[in-house]
């Protein structure tokens, strides 16, 4: 996933970027960073950990200036070594730039190998470094044209923020797989962010999405927005997972409120449901809207029968021998007072490996649930998503190697049902196309 | 509030205590500590902050032994100085003891003054220190009798865990205001904790509550539980706030599941409701069960229209000038997609000062809500609770100085309704009495 | 050893105390703390580690007020548990006090046992806590009289600083074993410190020593100094080790510059020397002045042939197998360029266990020294010092169980010579008596 | 300055490198890092601060393998931004390399500009990055030949350690300005280090210096040393400052013990001295050997009349208004007991800006010195050293703009004398040439 945010023409841009990253913490908890441009110098601070642990007032005050970009990292490409945090700042012929990148380049190894053959050196494992090299090696005079040249070489799903000392470039790939939106701050500055929930926190108004294949250029000191449709033949397909579980429910992705979409998916599950049950229970938090939609449609009561503990520890304390299923229990606690002897329909957003679902079912059984029916508000995940999500290899995807009945037996439920791909599309809306690789294996990015 | 937990006769007792504290983090986020008894020496580690930030494997491994007690601190008594963390360990005539205390002593100043007049010195601002002094000054030969003598002097609401080098004492005041339960671990050891949710995490089974006025004594190496009804004339009144917002919804307090009680309170609100509205929305997380109960009864749809961000920062980053209501927005974001032009009933668990409610209403209005009706799943808070909750002075309680209509105008809603005290009692259950001081001003602890 | 420092009637008293502690870091590196009195409240901050690691500007700015006391801890009494840092602040009948104590009470166990029998509780292992209890238990009306009562009970070598909310008491035991001096700051405030080197750093002028058996009282807002000779029958004996190795060479102890005394002791060694050698080399840093005195007298050239590395690590990195004598080598490196085939006289300040001396000799031999003659600028240490120094048990003192020839063989030198006790006295000055317990076993404090 | 150290074919190579860096901490306190090669992967850990603060056992244990290189950074080239630490590791066509570099490239801006024009990107401000780029861009097949190509482009004073996954390259520029020596560890592994004091600590034996213009290649698993004289026309000139103040006195630089050289320089000062004085005092620590040499020759007594405090704080605590000259006093304290009414000759190693000397003189005057004569054991510093020392701009060098009499008046001494350049050469030894740019302005590196 990852999150990017950029701010221009706003006092204390880095602080606004900080709050944008904070609002989008769910998109990446591994590392975060902010670059700010001040007095013709770009300064970067980045580290491992949560946004609120990395930054403090002193650090943010040292990141002065009217322009800044930031990044939350969720380890997709690149290893988990500590050097792999973004934005990446570098000096090149036209001066300083800093780049924040959300997505995954499918030809990154070829590009990297080619660059290395030409003498490039790499300091990190991140494909973002490819983009900077390509910009630096271009013979074009203008940064804009250098970026264009680079973008014609890389392939994949990406949203890019590139900050020079006076300009901010916001770019979305021609498939528009990852979301990127523009907002206006109360002091007239602009903000660009992966998710609109970042706008709400900083008091910005949504203006519009960056279009698939569009490059938007903001300039320090000017309120003009330049726009270039840099890819003429676009095939817009926002990633369906943004609706299924990436985005916060309060975000609006491509004009659709995520919470409403999830409720719709739950409603679709309800429409085809044949099970009678005492209650509908979500796996919190992401299963909540679909469970509500299901309950509203089916009139089966909704119950928050699994309680989630939101405190998280940085160090995992090795439990004593007796504590089984501890990692799941640290987050989720099913209430036997509610579940005892009940027949329940559990709503979750996905089954990836199946291991967590299996443990949740064990805990529900221990809590006394009599019948457990699992309904997934998404289709079976049969293929790895190589466009930016950290899905495991094919072989680890339980639905790649097993049919529904086998999965049902593995996780130990009385019945199991998924959405059909077409139902997913219907639930989000038929007016546009979606990236559905995990479900249909159609790797359309070429 | 505060939380206490004690473990005896279990390998790595301190680790189990750690997980118990982790599960009860909501009862106190200011400071935490663990004392463990090993090899005839009690070792204590405590600090400011969250349980998961204070402890790591190295520290827990240094707290060896089969007995340990722990404490999460929520600053009620005592200032917020860093020295005020528990448990408090001390040497006295019979050796070493460590004490963890949840509650508030109403005669702490008199007792402290008296002790000080007799030459005692105090290192902290916590009333727990009184108890240790009284135990140390007793002329009794047995720790048990010394504790009894001390308990006859102190007055108030308390749950006490006292660990000597070989015994663990668990004591509940005669009113039973704060909860305290006994569980059994899978390896046969005992666990005592403020809330039953701690048992769930560590895989312990609930055995029974410690009774009001009871002292339970556990001994290292023995599976016997000694019990003494040390106060003969008890007047059991569990604190109503345990059901309203202290306890986790998955805890069972005095035999009642908190989630079910809250749903009941919401149902009661629904039964007397006269408002027509498009949706019921909770102020998350504590308002969720009551909102569900309300929705089930009224058939008005339940919507999670306010999204809560559970990430929290340790440092508050001063926002730029433009970010208004930031502190509330960092946690709560109302969705305009859901709320626009809608008439909504908002369910919350309480109104204390009114300032937060006012800000939530402002954000709901900005999100486009047309009509806002506030329903509180508890009566008006008119009196400070001196038995263990950090309620402000009378003058800061908005319902002390203002009637409902004045509060309604202040927070800016179209209508405002509370539960009556009798409805609260009905909702929890008439079979027992409750501590209701905040609502009725009956300071019964004397 | 330990160091104490107090400041009164000076702006930012805690900062001046900080610098005083910094100057006296050599007297205790284990823990440090500062108490400051402001607005009728005493605030204390203390921790493990070096002064400069514990405090920062933020902490010092929070320790406001015109009065402060501080302490550097060298673990003599008390274990090395983290709670054992000073000053110790407490509340008692007359309000708040904070106590910093340098020294060792010989009857601390009896006093503690007696106090515990009377119901006192102890939170630390430090004998300082005895003093606070005795003050708190006194029936006198005035703090001064309470202190006097306490001092009549405790026995031992001590310098005490006691701060109430408006007064500062500086007390020295009747033997005056540990030094304590009064200085005046440039803004007219007073400073009391263990060593005069603290005055130099903060720009204070030495006024006079606190006399053995004297209590000096300073009051906030007044420039008056009250003085009471609280012990009439004094037997002043400053500890000879203050001259031999405790104090910094630039300190003036009881009117004598430590550097000059050490040079004198070296001169005495030279006067009785019969060895012909190529050079005199000190074990740095404490052996330097005596080696200079020796060289000046004997005309044998002085060489800094052992180089000391002053960087110190907080974590000891376990060496690879091959690195022998690493702990000594981390500090001391003999130069073979200077030592090769040379006959050398090495000057050190003492031999305690003999193990370090043995390793130094090994390194000197490896560096090529042909003949090694050890001269110690002090007599043989045959008895534990129980008055404030961390000398080991009798059995670990090499000179307790071995005669000079045996020690010589053990450490592996060609000759070994100590000062006689009388030569030590002559070297410091015959005009006063000294505490010489480590040399003569005369435990005069009773 | 900076320090480099490399170890090959030794178990726990990173630990030995750690101790080497520790021994050479004086050459750079700003940042440190270690790269270790294990299992065909180079892992690097680096940070700001002292060696002993950056590394702990856990980090060193994670840097496994039989090869490692390390670096202590003293900020010469590059700003003080936190990213500027070495070694720099990178991926390029032949795999992974890591580079540690001590020195300063005089054509770094031209090379960097050229590289940037060709599309290179720079992540740091360090000229070391140039070298990696040149290696990566070479068309040679072997790393050795690529390094040669790079070295033919860069100009300046440098010692280079380059580690690939199986080899260690140690290179010294053709002028041999910075020292670099080879030693053998007890387990048969090799160590290469800037200063021989590193060998002493880890128990290694000095084998030989790397020759000016030489490239030495070590290979994992082989005890062969390959040597190439890569520059045929060498003009060896070790930097005179290595003797004057860079190196530790116990190091042997180009066959000369630094301590002995410094004593020689002091002797030279004594030979031309015409002042009668009561004592010779060094500015510790670097002035000590010259002062000893002076004293031995002149027979004027040597006194350690200025005491140095070796504790250093990481945070500078802002002093109260009254504390003047605090920064100098934190380190140096002149003893009035020794200095009062005395005529003194002070020996220091250099005068750069003159500000510190002026403050030392003020403190000596306050301590009562009657006459103060300054003797500098080096010539006047009239020119910036661009070959690796952090000397200020010409305009800040007091001897650039002022003659000796003016400097004397500025620092406030009764007389001031320097060594002549020829006396310096004589003092070190006429058998070789020296880099003397700071004294004679002959910038011979072209």
DSSP string, B296-350: HHH-PPB---EEEP----SSPPPPPTT-TTHHHHTTEEE-HHHHTT-EEEEEES-
Within a domain: A316:
no
Given a contact cutoff of 8 angstroms between Cβ atoms, the answer to whether D131 and D150 are in contact is: yes
Task: Tell me how far CA of residue C371 lies from CA of C287, C297, C339, C346, C354, in angstroms.
Answer: 19, 21, 10, 10, 19
Q: Which residues does C18 contact at the CB level (< 8 Å), separation at least 6?
A: C34, C51, C55, C60, C70, D317
Q: Do chains C and B touch (3 or more CB pairs under 8 A)?
A: yes
Domain residues for the domain of A416 are 259-308+322-440
pLDDT digits (tens, 9 = 90+) for D324-374: 788 899 999 999 999 999 999 999 999 999 999 999 999 999 999 999 999
Collapsing DSSP states into helix, strand and coil, what is residue D158? strand
Within a domain: B248:
no
For A317, which of B18, B259, B322 is closest by C-beta distance?
B18
Given a contact cutoff of 8 angstroms between Cβ atoms, the answer to whether B183 and B190 are in contact is: yes
How far B432 CA lies from chain A's nearest CA (Å)? 20
At C76 the pLDDT is 54
Collapsing DSSP states into helix, strand and coil, what is residue C347? strand
For B304, which of A289, A311, A322 is closest by C-beta distance?
A289
How far C211 CA lies from chain B's nearest CA (Å)? 30
The CATH number for D381's domain is 3.40.50.2020
pLDDT digits (tens, 9 = 90+) for D213-259: 999 999 999 989 999 999 988 889 999 999 999 999 999 999 999 99
Instruction: Return the higher-pLDDT residue of C220 and C394.
Output: C220
Residues C308 and C179 reside in one and the same domain: no
C239 is known as an active-site residue: no
How far C113 CA lies from chain B's nearest CA (Å)? 8
Q: Is C292 on the interface with D (CB under 8 A)?
A: yes
Task: With beta carbons under 8 A apart, name residues in chain A contacting B203.
Answer: 322-324
Q: Is C317 on the interface with B (CB under 8 A)?
A: no
Edge-first strand order for the sheet with D371-376 is: D279-282, D343-348, D371-376, D415-417
Q: Is D137 on the interface with A (CB under 8 A)?
A: yes
Q: How far apart are CA C402 and CA C352, in angstroms?
A: 12
Q: Which of A150-154, A186-190, C358-362, D104-108 has the lowest mean pLDDT?
A: D104-108
Q: How far apart are CA C17 and CA C189, in angstroms?
A: 12
Q: Which of A377-386, B237-246, D79-88 has the lowest mean pLDDT?
A: D79-88
pTM to 2 decimal places: 0.89
At B385 the pLDDT is 81
Residues D427 and D298 reside in one and the same domain: yes
Q: How confident is the model at residue D446 (pLDDT cuts 50, 70, 90)?
A: confident
Task: With beta carbons under 8 A apart, name residues in chain D contacting A91.
Answer: 116, 121-123
pLDDT digits (tens, 9 = 90+) for A135-148: 999 999 999 999 99
Q: Is D119 on the interface with A (CB under 8 A)?
A: yes
Q: Is D255 on the interface with C (CB under 8 A)?
A: no
Cβ contact A122–D92 (<8 Å): yes
Of C235, C250, C273, which residue constitutes the final position of a domain? C235
Of A191, A220, A235, which residue constitutes the final position of a domain? A235
Q: List the end-to-end C-alpha distance of chain B, in Å, as a whole number.
A: 20
Q: How far apart are CA D70 and CA D49, in angstroms?
A: 14
Q: Which residues does A138 contact at the CB level (< 8 Å), separation at least 6?
A: A145, A146, A149, A150, D119
At D387 the pLDDT is 74
Task: Tell me how far CA of residue A407 lies from CA of A360, A414, A416, C176, D275, in angstroms.
Answer: 14, 11, 8, 83, 97
Q: How confident is the model at residue A311 (pLDDT cuts 50, 70, 90)?
A: confident
Q: What is the mean pLDDT of residues B139-146?
A: 96
Given a contact cutoff of 8 angstroms between Cβ atoms, the answer to whether A170 and A208 are in contact is: no
For D301, which of C296, C303, C330 is closest by C-beta distance?
C296
Residues A219 and A302 reside in one and the same domain: no
Query: Per-residue pLDDT for B18 more than 90?
Result: yes
How far A190 CA lies from chain B's nearest CA (Å)? 13
Q: What is the mean pLDDT of residues A303-307?
A: 97
Edge-first strand order for the sheet with D156-163 is: D88-92, D95-105, D156-163, D167-172, D214-219, D225-229
Q: Do chains D and C touch (3 or more CB pairs under 8 A)?
A: yes
At D317 the pLDDT is 77
CA atoms within 13 A on the CB side of B262: 34
> Subunits with at least 3 CB pairs below 8 A relative to chain D?
A, C
Task: With beta carbons under 8 A apart, name residues in chain A contacting B338.
Answer: 257, 259-260
Angle separating helix axes D404-411 and D355-366, nearest 10 degrees: 50
Of C220, C235, C250, which residue constitutes the final position of a domain? C235
For C292, which of D23, D200, D302 is closest by C-beta distance?
D302
User: What are the tokens at C403?
Assistant: 């005669």
For tokens 């002093």, the residue is D319
**Contacts across the C-D interface (CB distance below 8 Å):** 173
At D46 the pLDDT is 92
Residues B37 and B76 reside in one and the same domain: yes
Residues D209 and D80 reside in one and the same domain: yes
Tell whether D348 is in a known binding site: yes
Cβ contact C314–D52 (<8 Å): yes
The b-or-e profile of C289-316 (16+ CB within 10 A means b, else e) is bbbbbbbbbbebebbbbbbbbebebeee
DSSP B151-202: HTT--EEEEEEEE-SSEEEEEE-TT--S--EEEE-TTS-EEEESSTHHHHHH
The CATH number for C106's domain is 3.60.20.10
At A324 the pLDDT is 74
Given a contact cutoff of 8 angstroms between Cβ atoms, the answer to whether B180 and B238 are in contact is: no
- Residues of D serving a catalytic function are 2
Instruction: Return the higher-pLDDT residue of B41 and A78.
Output: B41
Residues B153 and B218 reside in one and the same domain: yes
What's the alpha-carbon Rg for chain D, to the nearest Å? 23
Q: Does the CA dihedral D406-D407-D413-D418 come out positive or negative?
A: negative
At D252 the pLDDT is 96
Within a domain: C39:
yes
Task: With beta carbons under 8 A apart, name residues in chain D contacting A89.
Answer: 123
Residues D285 and D216 reside in one and the same domain: no
Q: How far apart are CA B122 and CA B112, in angstroms?
A: 9
Query: Per-residue pLDDT for A417 more than 80?
Result: yes
Q: Do chains D and B touch (3 or more CB pairs under 8 A)?
A: no
pLDDT digits (tens, 9 = 90+) for A355-375: 999 999 999 999 999 999 999
User: What are the tokens at A96?
Assistant: 């300083």
Give binding residues of A as ranges: 286, 348-349
The b-or-e profile of C199-223 (16+ CB within 10 A means b, else e) is bbbbbbebeebbbbbbbbbbbbeee
At B76 the pLDDT is 54
Cβ contact A90–D133 (<8 Å): no
pLDDT digits (tens, 9 = 90+) for D9-22: 999 999 999 999 99
At A429 the pLDDT is 95
At D321 the pLDDT is 65
- CB atoms near residue D117 (< 10 Å): 10
pLDDT digits (tens, 9 = 90+) for D31-59: 999 999 999 899 999 988 899 989 998 89
Cβ contact C320–D57 (<8 Å): no
Within a domain: C248:
no
Within a domain: D246:
no
Residues B199 and B339 reside in one and the same domain: no
Q: How far apart are CA D97 and CA D161, in angstroms?
A: 10
Q: What is the mean pLDDT of residues A294-307?
A: 96
At A325 the pLDDT is 81
How far C53 CA lies from chain B's nearest CA (Å)? 18
How far B187 CA lies from chain A's nearest CA (Å)? 7
Query: Per-residue pLDDT for C320 more than 80?
Result: no
Query: Per-residue pLDDT for A77 more than 70?
Result: no
Q: Of A79, A60, A238, A86, which is closest to residue A157 (Cα–Cα)?
A: A238
Q: Is C124 on the interface with D (CB under 8 A)?
A: no
Given a contact cutoff of 8 angstroms between Cβ atoms, the answer to whether C381 and C352 are in contact is: yes
User: What are the tokens at D185?
Assistant: 């560890």
Residues B163 and B101 reside in one and the same domain: yes
Within a domain: B317:
no
For C313, which of D16, D52, D303 is closest by C-beta distance?
D52
Residues C187 and C278 reside in one and the same domain: no
Q: How far apart are CA C252 and CA C242, in angstroms?
A: 10
Q: How confident is the model at residue D322 (pLDDT cuts 50, 70, 90)?
A: low
Average pLDDT taken over every residue of chain D? 93
Task: With beta carbons under 8 A apart, name residues in chain B contacting A334.
Answer: 250
Quote the number of domains for chain C.
2
Q: How far apart are CA C221 and CA D172, in angstroms?
A: 67
At C82 the pLDDT is 60
For D91, which of A43, A118, A121 is closest by C-beta distance?
A121
Q: How far apart are CA C323 and CA C318, in angstroms?
A: 10
Q: Which residues does B61 contact at the CB level (< 8 Å), separation at least 6?
A: none
User: What are the tokens at C380?
Assistant: 């043989």
Give the angle subtended at the CA of C223 by the CAs of C222 and C229, to the nearest 5°: 100
Q: Is A225 on the interface with D (CB under 8 A)?
A: no
Q: Does the CA dihedral D260-D261-D266-D269 come out positive or negative?
A: positive
For tokens 């003891």, the residue is B97
Within a domain: B336:
yes
Residues C230 and C305 reside in one and the same domain: no
Q: What is the mean pLDDT of residues C391-419?
A: 93
Within a domain: A252:
no
At A103 the pLDDT is 86
Residues C221 and C272 reside in one and the same domain: no
Q: How confident is the model at residue A387 (pLDDT cuts 50, 70, 90)?
A: confident
């Amino acid at each position: 996933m990852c999150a990017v945010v950029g701010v221009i023409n706003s006092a204390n841009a880095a602080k606004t970027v900080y709050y944008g990253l904070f609002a989008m913490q769910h998109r990446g908890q591994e590392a975060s960073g902010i670059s700010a441009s001040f007095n013709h110098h770009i300064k970067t601070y980045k580290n491992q950990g949560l946004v609120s642990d990395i930054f403090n007032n002193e650090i943010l005050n040292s990141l002065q200036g009217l322009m800044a970009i930031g990044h939350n990292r969720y380890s997709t490409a690149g290893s988990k070594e500590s050097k792999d945090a973004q934005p990446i700042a570098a000096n090149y012929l036209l001066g300083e730039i800093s780049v924040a990148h959300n997505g995954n380049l499918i030809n990154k190894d070829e590009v990297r190998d080619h660059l290395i053959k030409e003498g490039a050196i790499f300091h990190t494992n991140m494909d973002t470094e490819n983009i900077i090299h390509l910009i630096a090696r271009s013979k074009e005079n203008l940064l804009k044209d250098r970026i264009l040249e680079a973008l014609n070489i890389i392939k994949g799903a990406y949203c890019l923020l590139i900050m020079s000392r006076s300009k901010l470039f916001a770019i979305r790939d021609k498939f528009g797989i990852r979301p990127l939106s523009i907002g206006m701050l109360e002091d007239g500055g602009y903000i660009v962010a992966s998710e609109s929930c970042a706008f709400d926190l900083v008091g910005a108004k949504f203006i519009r999405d960056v279009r698939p294949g569009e490059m938007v250029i903001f300039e320090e000191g000017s309120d003009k927005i330049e726009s270039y449709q840099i890819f003429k033949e676009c095939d817009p397909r926002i990633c369906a997972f943004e609706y299924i579980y990436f985005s916060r429910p309060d975000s609006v992705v491509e004009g659709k409120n995520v919470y409403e979409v999830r409720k719709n998916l739950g409603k679709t599950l309800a429409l085809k449901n044949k099970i009678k049950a005492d209650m509908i229970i979500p796996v919190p938090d992401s299963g909540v809207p679909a469970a509500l939609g299901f309950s509203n449609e089916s009139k089966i009561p909704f119950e928050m029968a699994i309680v989630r503990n939101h405190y998280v520890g940085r160090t995992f304390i090795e439990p004593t021998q007796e504590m089984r299923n501890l990692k799941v229990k640290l987050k989720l606690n099913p209430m036997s007072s509610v579940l005892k002897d009940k027949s329940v329909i559990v709503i979750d957003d996905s089954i990836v490996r199946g291991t967590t679902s299996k443990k949740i079912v064990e805990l529900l059984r221990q809590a006394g649930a009599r019948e457990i029916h699992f309904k997934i508000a998404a289709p079976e995940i049969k293929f790895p998503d190589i466009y930016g999500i950290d899905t495991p290899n094919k072989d680890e995807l339980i639905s790649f190697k097993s049919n529904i009945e086998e999965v049902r037996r593995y996780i130990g439920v009385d019945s199991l049902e998924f959405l059909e791909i077409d139902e997913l599309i219907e639930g989000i809306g038929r007016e546009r196309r979606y990236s559905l690789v995990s479900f249909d294996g159609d790797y359309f990015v070429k």
